[in-house]
Amino acid sequence: MFDSFKRSFSVISAIALASSFCCIACEDDNDETKDSGKFETRKVSETETIQCAPVITKDYSKTDEKSIIDYLVSVCSLSNYFQKDDYKNSEQKIGSPCFCYGPDCELAGYERPEQGTIIGCKNVQPVAKAVPICLRSSNLDIVKPAIYFPNGMCAVAISKCTTINDKSNYICGFAKFGSLYTPDASGRLVGDENADAEIANFKAADCPDGSVMAEFEMNISVGIDADNPKTAKLEVVGCFPGCNTDSDCRSGEYDYILQDKGKLHCMTANPNADGEKAKVCFDERTVEFSSIGIRTVKAYGFKAE
């Protein structure tokens, strides 16, 4: 990703880094095949499969996009969509499929898109202190809630994290994203005293054409100690893809990460204080796990009737 945003962290990064207390998991569901050296058959759509080689340690020496894509597809870590003309001719804007490449992109089975090079979002630009991000599906038993963004979703967003039960401030130390935060000596993000003001500045700004400004909240629980899980609240405000119908939303697209059909729909967001309701592309399962659903900030040209 852009150098100035390399230290930005997403919803997923909070979960990923918190999970580092436990054993590092593999990138796919088929962990038992990693040491076998056998090729794996993996579904990339409801009707198409690919053959790929299981790998324990990824090679992050690739530098050009094609080599990165070909390599990740070859080791079962990426859908072959990114090798096709549909991707090559895509607009790479808010709402487009995307992924992250680099040694810090994933940990304990969770993807951390803001920690490496984002591919698929080249036309997404920052707004105020909100940064381009690539939200990806992730699902671990130890961390709740699960996150569903089939094959990635480019967005521009900013966040605020509040510790609930985490004396070390571990989750929030890595959860926040936005260029207002800077890393301290241990790599944990600081700058929380500016969060409310910068989020207000972002809400006063405008999203790029084709998107709406919406917000959601995730109550994150990391159950390393089942009797006393670490918990925090992450508040996210972002520019997400606006829509009129499901056909605007990559609806029904197969989710390569979860090996299941996605549930991305054109949803009517909850109203803002003025009663305005936006229509936005979101996976209904992610919305279910938000304590406020997905709520309208500004609808622009995608108002619900």
**Beta carbons of 13 and 115 less than 8 angstroms apart:** yes
Q: Which pLDDT band holds residue 143 (cuts at 50, 70, 90)? A: confident
Tell me, what's the pLDDT at 22?
31
Pairwise CA distance, residues 178 & 129, whole Å? 6
Q: What mean pLDDT do residues 159-183 have?
A: 85
Average pLDDT over residues 270-287: 94
SS3 270: strand
Amino acid at 82: F
Q: Over the stretch 172-198, which tens digit does the pLDDT of each residue have?
A: 877 788 999 988 888 788 899 999 999
pLDDT at residue 159, rounded to an integer = 93
Band of residue 3 on the pLDDT scale cut at 50, 70, 90:
very low
The 10 Å Cβ neighbour count of residue 53 is 12
Q: How many CB atoms lie within 10 A of CB 18?
A: 29
Burial 105-120 (b: 16+ CB within 10 A, else e): bbbbbbbbbbbbbbbb
Q: Give the pair of three-digit tokens for residue 84.
A: 């096709």
Domain ranges of the chain: 3-298
CB 136 within 8 A of CB 16: no
The most confident of 136-145, 153-162, 281-290, by mean pLDDT: 153-162
Given this model, what pLDDT does residue 296 score?
97
**Of 90 and 25, more confident:** 90
Q: Are 15 and 135 in contact (CB under 8 A)?
A: no
- Tokens, residue 265: 């729909």
Give the C-alpha separation, 172 to 14, whole Å: 7
pTM: 0.82
Between residues 153 and 168, the one the model is more confident about: 153
Share of the chain above pLDDT 90, in %: 43
**How many CB atoms neighbour CB 121 within 10 A?**
26
Q: Given this model, what pLDDT does residue 261 score?
A: 83
The answer to whether 67 and 102 are in contact (CB under 8 A) is: no
**Per-residue pLDDT at 66:** 96
Kindly provide the b/e burial profile for residues 143-161, where b requires at least 16 CB atoms within 10 angstroms of the residue's own CB: bbbbbbbbbbbbbbbbbbb
pLDDT at 173: 79
In sequence order, what E strands does the chain have? 40-43, 49-52, 99-101, 106-107, 110-111, 117-119, 131-135, 138-140, 143-147, 153-165, 182-183, 189-190, 211-222, 230-241, 254-255, 260-261, 264-268, 279-283, 295-298
pLDDT band at 45 (very low <50, low <70, confident <90, very high): confident
* pLDDT score for 139: 67
